[in-house]
């Protein structure tokens, strides 16, 4: 069963003297994190987002009740979570955290080639699946069509079709 709360970002510092936080967003884009009115500290404690805006590579966020730099400093290093029920994902998208450790089955070679170790999102063109191969190697396959064929959430399998030379 998928986790109810998903890691959305980390509080990495403070901004100004009124308790604003600098948050490193772990969402597809920092703007996504600005869309939430409620986030959660440690998956349990709801916090109300009073304001949020992207500034350079971080989100500047003000939480209700955090009105001094001292209060903000106490939150440094904390992970902010979002409730998956608050997210309306398009049908063809999945949360990265949900597919980590899924088996990867390559249709071209007709076998499991490893499991999803990570999804690298820093490539400007598209995400890349980092696969821990059965032989201990790391394999990288673009997380786009025509390589990505299907994600079976119930079975925990990502079906891909590699090209010759990619996994050999």
* pLDDT tens figures, 42-82: 888 999 999 999 998 899 999 999 999 999 999 999 999 99
Encoded tokens for 51: 């304001």
**Contact assessment for residue 81 and residue 95, using Cβ atoms and an 8 Å cutoff:** no
Q: pTM of the full predicted structure? A: 0.72
Q: What is the mean pLDDT of residues 4-32?
A: 90
**H or E segment at 7?**
strand 5-15
Contact 127, 143 (CB under 8 A): yes
User: What would the CATH number be for the domain defined by 5-86?
Assistant: 2.40.30.60
Question: Where does 96-160 sit in CATH, by number?
Answer: 2.30.30.240
Tokens coding 28: 């597809």
Q: Could you tell me which of 63, 41, 65, 38 has the C-alpha nearest to residue 51?
A: 63
Integer angstrom CA distances of residue 159 from 96, 99, 102:
15, 12, 10
SS3 of residue 124 by DSSP: coil
Tell me the per-residue pLDDT of 85-94, one tens digit each, with 9 for 90 and over: 888 877 777 8
Q: Are 9 and 58 in contact (CB under 8 A)?
A: no
Spans of all domains in the chain: 5-86, 96-160
């Amino acid at each position: 069963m998928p986790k109810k709360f998903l890691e959305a970002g980390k509080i990495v510092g403070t901004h100004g003297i009124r308790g604003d936080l600098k948050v490193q967003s772990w969402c597809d884009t920092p703007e996504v994190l600005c869309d939430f009115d409620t986030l959660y500290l440690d998956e349990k404690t709801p916090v109300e987002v009073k304001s949020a805006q992207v500034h350079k590579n971080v989100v500047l966020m003000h939480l209700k009740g955090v009105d001094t730099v001292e209060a903000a400093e106490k939150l440094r290093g904390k992970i902010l979570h979002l409730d998956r029920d608050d997210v309306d994902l398009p049908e063809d998208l999945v949360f990265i955290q949900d597919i980590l450790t899924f088996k990867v089955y390559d249709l071209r070679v007709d076998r499991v080639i490893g499991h999803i170790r990570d999804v690298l999102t820093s490539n400007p063109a598209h995400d890349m699946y980092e696969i821990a191969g059965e032989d201990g190697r790391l394999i990288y396959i673009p997380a786009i069509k025509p390589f990505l064929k299907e994600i079976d959430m119930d079975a925990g399998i990502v079906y891909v079709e590699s090209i010759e030379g990619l996994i050999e």
